[in-house]
Amino acid sequence: MGRLLLASAALPRQPTTEALLTQALLQADAQSFQEREFQQGLAASLARARHPSDPEASQQDMAQWEALFSEPLGQQLFGDPRLSPAQRLANLSFFLVRPTFLLELLSLYTGNLTSMAAHEAQLALQAFEPEQVAPIARFPEALVPRFPELASLARPVDAQALAVLIPHVLRPDQAAHAMHALAEDILQTVQDDTPVKEPRLALANAAAEGLRELEAQCLAETAPQQVAQLLVLAALQHQCFFQNLPAFTEEALARQSLPPGVSDSVALGFLATAMGHLGMALGGPVGSAVAQRLTQSACQTVERLRTGEQLPLGALSGEVLGIPGLGLAPHALGEVAAALTQLYASQLSQLGDDTASLLGPLAPLLFQGEVEGLGTAWTQLLMDPERMGELQDSEASLRAEVLRILLVGGTVGAFAWDTVVPALHAQSQTLLGASLPTDTPPDMLVTLYAASAARAVAVLGNDELIEALSSASVTPAEALAESQGRGAGLFAGGLAPDDPSLTAAMLGALAPAAPTFEPSAEDTPDGSEG
């Protein structure tokens, strides 16, 4: 079997090679995984499937697969006779959706992949750079009462508000002491003698180490903004640990009577928790919503790849939301979440005073990064005849500013499309110059508006196409034909079919052609027109 797998690794990925891989895994026993030839063949096949067009990456990947299969615990993950076929596939899938394997965690958690996922998620949050913490990133409400210095601040407390307290109310050394106390809180929680004390302590040590690193940075920092960023990030790391700990403990207890492996739903819960906190650091509540929507979409895509007895072999080659290397790795997901949050923030930063005034009560919610009530506020704006009249009478560039915030917000997950689509549909002809038929079923309306918005917003990331649109060098339909929907899968609804006419109308409204200058007689040297 090992030779056959080695030979198949040189072939293009196709259903027959995928079937061979799956059967090899299901039929192999513990003895097979101890054979060098089988390890090499399986490693080569998996690496080639994950990196079909990058020989160097494939070679590096093959090395880590061989390292995994040569580990005694690695062999148990796939060759333990107690494993059902579904469990074997789940164990392999755990690694298939990760670009790199933290093999040092395998022995730390004695083959419990779910516990590894919690540790991995905590490390991803700890890798977040403090200077990236947004001014609107919120200090966890549950921790506010533990800090008397924050009593004077209005709720919710964010990094921007915290910075005002430093150094007169809260000195940097006091902030560092608070981080130390949070680390001690984590360690004290896991001192009870339980059957799973060791894995709980391993996770706690990792979380506490992250807080100690922030504490050390805080002691060397004096700038109010940086101290506030460090404190918010420390509090988010603390909360992530405590929110994941109950499920971590419960699963570790259950795993004692089971073979090494993974509980997919619990592991994905750990990932979602960490991504929510990472998103909060990136962009406040809206950043958290963006990161959680992205994670959910990626998880759903991977689940579809695993339908039946299939393996998610293409999870790193672009089959998850169209992004090569994405899979379900926390670090990769964090990078994409950062890009989407920045896309939304960049639209907000371009709002002029006139536009903000037109948005009325909606504007404060947008600038605070709020998501609660945001969809309702957009609906109220769209149904306000006076404001819609002002928007209709305004310049195309101002309408584009408003529509960019609206459509980008919906596509990144700042609000649910089903909240806003009925009002948007009612104003579609006015705002976009196009509309779907009045007899379109409500559910289909939501699907089509979301899918069309995803494709239109995806083009915003292509500077060349946007410039061509603004100069009227290409039409919206031509720009969409050239973009071919690339990147749309990243956005809410982007994997569903769109309505091409609606998509073109949206793109034309988002990137209107700049008005051409027609000189008057007074503008020409001889006073004549032309």
- Mean pLDDT computed over every residue of the chain: 90
Give yes or no: residues 78 and 183 share one domain: no
Do 358 and 451 belong together in one domain? yes
CB contact at 8 A, 480 and 455: yes
Predicted local distance difference test score (pLDDT) of residue 485: 82
Do 103 and 120 belong to one domain?
A: no
Task: With respect to residue 476, please indicate whether it lies within any of the assigned structural domains.
Answer: yes
Q: What is the pLDDT of residues 98-144, one digit of tens each?
A: 999 999 999 999 999 999 999 999 999 999 999 999 999 999 999 99
Segment 342-369 mean pLDDT: 90
449-475: average pLDDT: 90
> Domain boundary at 109, 131, 149, which?
109
pLDDT digits (tens, 9 = 90+) for 186-242: 999 999 999 999 999 999 999 999 999 999 999 999 999 999 999 999 999 999 999
Segment among 43-57, 239-253, 408-422 with least mean pLDDT:
43-57
Average pLDDT over residues 463-476: 88
What pLDDT shows up at residue 39? 87
Q: Residues 493, 363: one domain?
A: yes
| Among the listed residues 105, 84, 92, the one whose alpha carbon sits nearest the alpha carbon of residue 46 | 92
pTM for the full predicted model: 0.90
Determine, yes or no, domain membership for 522. Answer: no
Structural domain boundaries enclosing 32? 1-109
Residue 238 amino acid letter: H
Residue 277 lies in a domain: yes
* SS (HEC) of 174-231: HHHHHHHHHHHHHHHHCCCCCCCHHHHHHHHHHHHHHHHHHHHHHHCCCCHHHHHHHH
pLDDT at 452: 96
Q: Which helix (H) or strand (E) holds 480?
A: helix 476-483
Alpha carbon distance 401, 86 (integer Å): 50
Same domain? For 41 and 116 the reply is no
236-247 residue pLDDT tens: 999 999 999 999
Dump pLDDT digits (tens) for 272-325.
Answer: 999 999 999 999 999 999 999 999 999 999 998 888 778 898 888 888 888 888
| Lowest mean pLDDT across 1-5, 146-150, 223-227, 371-375 | 1-5
- Same domain assignment for residues 124 and 103: no
Asked whether the predicted pLDDT for residue 440 surpasses 90, the reply is yes
Q: What is the pLDDT of residues 356-414, one digit of tens each?
A: 888 989 999 999 999 999 999 999 999 999 999 998 888 888 999 999 999 999 999 99
Could you tell me the two tokens for 310? 């299939």
Classify residue 258: in a domain, yes or no.
no
What DSSP string runs through 404-470?
HHHHHHHHHTSS-HHHHHHHHHHHHHHHHS----TTS-HHHHHHHHHHHHHHHHHHHT-HHHHHHHH
Claim to verify: residue 155 and residue 68 sit in the same structural domain: no
How far is Cα 133 from Cα 126, in angstroms, rounded to an integer?
12
How far apart are alpha carbons 42 and 75 in whole angstroms?
13
Q: Report the number of distinct structural domains present in the chain.
A: 4
Could you tell me if 74 and 188 lie in one domain? no
Instruction: Let me know whether 281 and 360 are in one domain.
Output: no
Residue 248 belongs to some domain of the structure: yes
Residue 324 within any structural domain of the chain: no
329 within domain boundaries:
no
- Say if residue 299 is in the same domain as residue 376: no
**What is the per-residue pLDDT for 396?**
87
User: What letter would DSSP give residue 262?
Assistant: -
The pLDDT of residue 501 is 95
Which pLDDT does position 180 carry in this prediction?
97
- Note whether 185 and 234 are same-domain residues: no
Q: Same domain for 459 and 499?
A: yes
> How do residues 507-529 score in pLDDT, each as one tens digit?
999 988 876 655 555 555 555 54
The whole-number pLDDT of residue 530 equals 43
In a domain, 102, yes or no: yes
Average pLDDT over residues 175-190: 96
Beta bridge partners of 100: none
Of 93, 109, 125, the residue that ends a domain is 109
